[in-house]
C-alpha cells in the first residue's frame, strides 16, 4: 500500500510538471518598452547640421570613449529591462542616426536577440530622432514610415517625426506601433502646449484612419516621451487616451500609465522635487479587452527603476536619475528618463 501511494504521488508530481511545461509553451509573451536615451550622439562632426555640440571639440566634449561608455551602459540596462530575453519592441528617442543604433544593437551582446532597427532621418534642429528596435524572432515587419509633424502657422517649425510601423506576429495578429517624441516644454509649458496638442491631433487622425480602413479597432500601441502627463489636455482630450477605469464602450485608446501606485515608481523623470510621468504606453481597447489572442497582460504596465539608474539627490533629497550630462558637466550615467514597459500575452 505504501509503495502504491509513493507511485501515485510521483505520478501526480510528474503530471503537474508536464502540465506546467505545456502551459508555458502555449503562453506567448511579448514585452514592449520605450526609453528616451538622452542625447545618444556619435562623436563625429555632421557637416550637414549646424548643431555639433556632441563631438570631441564641441561644447559637450563628447569623446569616443564617452560614446562607448554610454553605449555599454545602455545595452546592459536593456538586458536587465528585458530580463535576458528579446524585447518584442523597444521604442527609442533621442538617437542621432543609424550608426549609434547599429553600434548598440549589432556590436554588443544585444546582437544575439536578432534585433532590427527602423529609423528615418528627421528634421529636428539638433538631429535627434525616434527609432524602433524589434526582434525578428517575435515579429515580422510589414511596412513602416515617418509621419512628418508640420505647423500650419509656422513653415519654419521643425520637430521629431512620429515613427509608424506595422507588424505581423506570425500567429494571425497584426500590430500597429507609433513611436513619439513630442515638442518639449522649453520656453514654457503654456507657451508650447499648442505644439503638443497639434501633434496629438495628427496622431489621433492617423488612429482614426486605421479604424476606418479596418472597419474595426485594430491592435495599436502608442509609445513615447510626450513631454506632457497622462492628464494634460493633449493626451487626455485631444488624443483621447483615457485611464482604464474611466473608459466606456466607445473609447478607442487606453492609457496604461495614469495610476502611479500601480506602476512601481512615481515618475519617469524628475524636475527639482517633483517626479512626473512623461513617458507612457497607450494601447487600443482591442488589445486591452481581448482575452485569447494577443492582448495586454493586466497590471503589467510598469516604470523600470533599477537602483543602478539612480544617484543620491543632494539638492532636493531622495534619488535622482544617473544622467550622462547635467548641463555641460559629464557624469557618465544612463539617461534623464526611466524606461517604461508592458507585457502582451497570448494564451
What are the pLDDT digits (tens) for 242-284?
Answer: 999 988 778 899 999 999 999 999 999 999 999 999 999 999 9
The least confident of 43-57, 70-84, 95-109, 113-127 is 43-57
pLDDT reported for residue 22: 38
Average pLDDT over residues 284-288: 95
pLDDT score of 20 more than 70 = no
pLDDT score of 319 more than 70 = yes
Tell me the three cell numbers of residue 78: 536593456
Confidence band of 156 (pLDDT split at 50, 70, 90): confident
pLDDT reported for residue 28: 80
The whole-chain average pLDDT of the chain stands at 91
| Predicted TM-score (pTM) of this structure | 0.91
As to burial, measured by CB atoms within 10 angstroms (0-12 exposed, 13-18 middle, 19+ buried), residue 251 is middle
pLDDT reported for residue 21: 42
30-346 belongs to CATH 3.60.10.10: yes
Return the ∠ at Cα 256 (arms to 251 and 262), rounded to 5°.
135
Whole-Å CA distances, 210 to 105, 140, 322: 31, 19, 39
As to burial, measured by CB atoms within 10 angstroms (0-12 exposed, 13-18 middle, 19+ buried), residue 108 is middle
Whole-Å CA distances, 96 to 90, 137, 140: 16, 26, 25
Query: Which of 133, 152, 151, 149 lies closest to 141 in space, CA to CA?
Result: 133
Q: Are 178 and 223 in contact (CB under 8 A)?
A: yes
pLDDT reported for residue 7: 44
pLDDT score of 159 more than 80 = yes
Report which DSSP code applies to 160.
Answer: P
Q: What are the residue ranges spanned by the domains of the chain?
A: 30-346
Tell me the three cell numbers of residue 232: 494634460
Q: How far is Cα 333 from Cα 338, in angstroms, rounded to an integer? A: 12
Amino acid at each position: 500500500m505504501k509503495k502504491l501511494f509513493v507511485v501515485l504521488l510521483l505520478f501526480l508530481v510528474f503530471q503537474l510538471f508536464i502540465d506546467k511545461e505545456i502551459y508555458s509553451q502555449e503562453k506567448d509573451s511579448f514585452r514592449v518598452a520605450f526609453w528616451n536615451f538622452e542625447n545618444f550622439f556619435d562623436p563625429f562632426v555632421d557637416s550637414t547640421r549646424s548643431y555639433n555640440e556632441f563631438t570631441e571639440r564641441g561644447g559637450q566634449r563628447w569623446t569616443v570613449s564617452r560614446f562607448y561608455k554610454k553605449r555599454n551602459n545602455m545595452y546592459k540596462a536593456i538586458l536587465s529591462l528585458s530580463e535576458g530575453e528579446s524585447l518584442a519592441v523597444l521604442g527609442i528617442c533621442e538617437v542621432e542616426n543609424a550608426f549609434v543604433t547599429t553600434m548598440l544593437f549589432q556590436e554588443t551582446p544585444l546582437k544575439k536577440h536578432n534585433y532590427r532597427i527602423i529609423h528615418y532621418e528627421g528634421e529636428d534642429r539638433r538631429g535627434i530622432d525616434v527609432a524602433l528596435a524589434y526582434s525578428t524572432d517575435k515579429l515580422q515587419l510589414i511596412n513602416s514610415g515617418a509621419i512628418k509633424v508640420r505647423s500650419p502657422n509656422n513653415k519654419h517649425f521643425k520637430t521629431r517625426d512620429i515613427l509608424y510601423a506595422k507588424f505581423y506576429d506570425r500567429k494571425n495578429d497584426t500590430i500597429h506601433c507609433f513611436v513619439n517624441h513630442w515638442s518639449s516644454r522649453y520656453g514654457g509649458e503654456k507657451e508650447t502646449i499648442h505644439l503638443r496638442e497639434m501633434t496629438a491631433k495628427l496622431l489621433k487622425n492617423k488612429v482614426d484612419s486605421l479604424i476606418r480602413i479596418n472597419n474595426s479597432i485594430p491592435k495599436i500601441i502608442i509609445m513615447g516621451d510626450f513631454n506632457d502627463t497622462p492628464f494634460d489636455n493633449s493626451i487626455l482630450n485631444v488624443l483621447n487616451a483615457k485611464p482604464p477605469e474611466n473608459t466606456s464602450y466607445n473609447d478607442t485608446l487606453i492609457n496604461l500609465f495614469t495610476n502611479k501606485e500601480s506602476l512601481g515608481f512615481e515618475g519617469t523623470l524628475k524636475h527639482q522635487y517633483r517626479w512626473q510621468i512623461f513617458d507612457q504606453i497607450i494601447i487600443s481597447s482591442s488589445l486591452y479587452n481581448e482575452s485569447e489572442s494577443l492582448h495586454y497582460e493586466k497590471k503589467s504596465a510598469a516604470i523600470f527603476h533599477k537602483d543602478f539608474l539612480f544617484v543620491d539627490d543632494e539638492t532636493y533629497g531622495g534619488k535622482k536619475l544617473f544622467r550622462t550630462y547635467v548641463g555641460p558637466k559629464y557624469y557618465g550615467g544612463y539617461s534623464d528618463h526611466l524606461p517604461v514597459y508592458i507585457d502582451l500575452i497570448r494564451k
